[in-house]
Structure 1
């Protein structure tokens, strides 16, 4: 099986080189890894031990960030290295002051893993939620570096629990300790005789709870909203935006803020064609009257988590694609949430549905009905906020466990 895994990594690299001819993300992926070991040598002190955090992308960074910040506060003299697999994480957080060095993770080959771990010399390694790389895990294990998975979540259909998943089960055996989000994950791991697991919950709850307590003020957003009720659509894709078009026409008394998941120009232009009278956030002028604008398009990155403070109801995108995005940022601000049908991989979405603080929809008609229902429901928003508050505390549990290893 290992030869097949190695071949898949090799094939992936070839596909990336072909895709990079026309695909910006693939080009960033490859360019960011060019001469990566020289970049690392020039950026960090390779004679020191580091705390190594790895994140797949931006979402996982925000998920693991409470643990990262707490370790930074507790051990300010300890240098930290962050790696990302995806450009969407690296390009946005490459200059974060939380780490001495932020890098792309080199592709998972035996040689790359050995060289990377030799240079970074990790004291501990912390991976958030996903990302299981055979050679990195094996090298950490051989070097006796404790490896922790935080905010992990496991499902029966994953390859770890299949008859053909021996290679991936080997990866799990390299993990020193698992901190997982739900009881199902605990039982699945124990079914593999992995008892080094704790039900700690999801560190995102700590992150969004703190954000909701002290949100960043956005005067231009507040000016746009005025006194009108506001519907906020976060992390949307084209199928989501096509549904929102109908909703906007039905409810002229509401204002709508759309924050797409991707803000490249071609996607922004698609939205502007769908809803021609939309105003772009970067075109707002302080002091201008918001009365003649119903729809605002967020065309920059990094403010959505604070935009939710101005809303009454939220729609979370991605549910017509690979899966919904972050519902918790909106819920923390007491917003009930609506999302598409693909939410089965997200425990918080299931929980919010059970609390009647969320509604899943599959069509424009269902979106309209959900919107009308939530306008009248005075309990959904408070239930969403309480759910977030009740789930905080994961960060403190994890950091307490990590302290003896640092």
Structure 2
């Protein structure tokens, strides 16, 4: 199976290289790795070991950030190296102040893994939630470098738990310790004879609770909202935006903020066609009319702070591969609405069960959910308590890791 895996990695690199000729993300993916080892050499002190944090993308970074920042607080003299697989993580956090270096992770080949690990000299490695790279994991194991997976979550339909998943199970066996989100994950790992696992919960709860305690004030957005109730659509996609457009027309007394998942010019223009009277955030900064009903956020990085101005939140992605982060909104005491594809997300199922969230499929569903949350403030309070009750994962993980340095 290893030969098939290696072919798959090579094929992936080839496809991304072709796409880089006309796709911005693919171009960043390829360009960011083109002189990577020279970049590492010029950035890091070759005589120092480092603590390596890897994140698939920006969402995983925010998820693992509480652990990273706590590690830096406990060991201020130690250097932290961060890697990302995706441009959406790297491009936003490439200048992160707590890291000695932020880099793209090279594709997972045996040669790249050895060269990269030799270059960054990790003392320990910490991966968040996803990404199981055979050659990186094996090389860390061979060099006796502890590898921890934090906020992991496993499902029965994953290949690790299938009869034909022996190669993928071998990758898991290189992990020093798993910190997982739920009991199902513990049980699944135990079923394949992996015992080095702790039920620690999800570090995202710590992150979103911390953010809600001290959000960044955004003056122009606060002025836009004024004293009116505010509906915030976070990480929206076109299918979400088409539904929200109807809601905007039905409720002129509300303010609406749309923060799309993709903020490229083409997508922003699509939203403006749906809502011609809307103003963009960049337009607002230039002195645009703040009495307009709808604000389109045409940049990345503001969403986690925007929820402080919200009354009801809609979380996008539920008509595609799956919903985005519901916890950022819930931490501010806001009830959440999202599309039908939420079943892979434990927190979404939990929020529905306790009455703090509603899943919708149609315009009528959205209107009904809006009316319910509009009239009742209790779901928001329940959402906030749910987040607060789930904090503490970071301390549990740090207790274990620091005890095994």
- TM over 0.5, shorter chain: yes
Partner of 1:332: 331
Query: Does the CA contact (< 8 Å) of 1:53 and 1:83 recur in 2?
Result: yes
Report Cα offsets for 1:65-94 as digits up to 9, x if no partner: 000000011101101100000000001100
Are 2:137 and 1:137 aligned? Answer: yes
Partner of 1:179: 179
**Structure 2 gaps, min length 5:** none
Deviation of the 1:195 alpha carbon? 1.1
Partner of 1:384: 383
Deviation of the 1:39 alpha carbon? 1.2
Distance, in Å, in 2 between the alignment partners of 1:405 and 1:299 is: 44
Name the SS for the 1:47 alignment partner. Answer: coil
Query: Does the CA contact (< 8 Å) of 1:124 and 1:405 recur in 2?
Result: no
Deviation of the 1:378 alpha carbon? 2.4
**Structure 1 gaps, min length 5:** none
Partner of 1:250: 250
Q: After TM superposition, list the pairs within 5 Å mapping 1:237-276 onto structure 2.
A: 237-276=237-276
Distance, in Å, in 2 between the alignment partners of 1:125 and 1:376 is: 48
Partner of 2:60: 60
Query: Does the CA contact (< 8 Å) of 1:137 and 1:174 recur in 2?
Result: yes
Are 2:351 and 1:348 aligned? Answer: no
Query: Does the CA contact (< 8 Å) of 1:57 and 1:88 recur in 2?
Result: yes
Name the SS for the 1:232 alignment partner. Answer: strand
Partner of 1:30: 30
TM-score normalised over the length of structure 1: 0.98
Distance, in Å, in 2 between the alignment partners of 1:103 and 1:398 is: 24
Deviation of the 1:363 alpha carbon? 1.2
Name the SS for the 2:149 alignment partner. Answer: strand
Query: Does the CA contact (< 8 Å) of 2:279 and 2:288 recur in 1?
Result: no
Partner of 2:210: 210
Partner of 1:48: 48
Structure 1 stretches (4+) deviating beyond 3 angstroms? 285-289
Distance, in Å, in 1 between the alignment partners of 2:236 and 2:255 is: 17
Q: After TM superposition, list the pairs within 5 Å mapping 1:109-120 onto structure 2.
A: 109-120=109-120
Query: Does the CA contact (< 8 Å) of 1:220 and 1:286 recur in 2?
Result: no
Report Cα offsets for 1:212-248 as digits up to 9, x if no partner: 1111111111100111110000000111101111111
Indicate how the Cα distance of structure 1 residues 285 and 52 shifts in structure 2: closer, same or farther if over 3 A, else same: closer
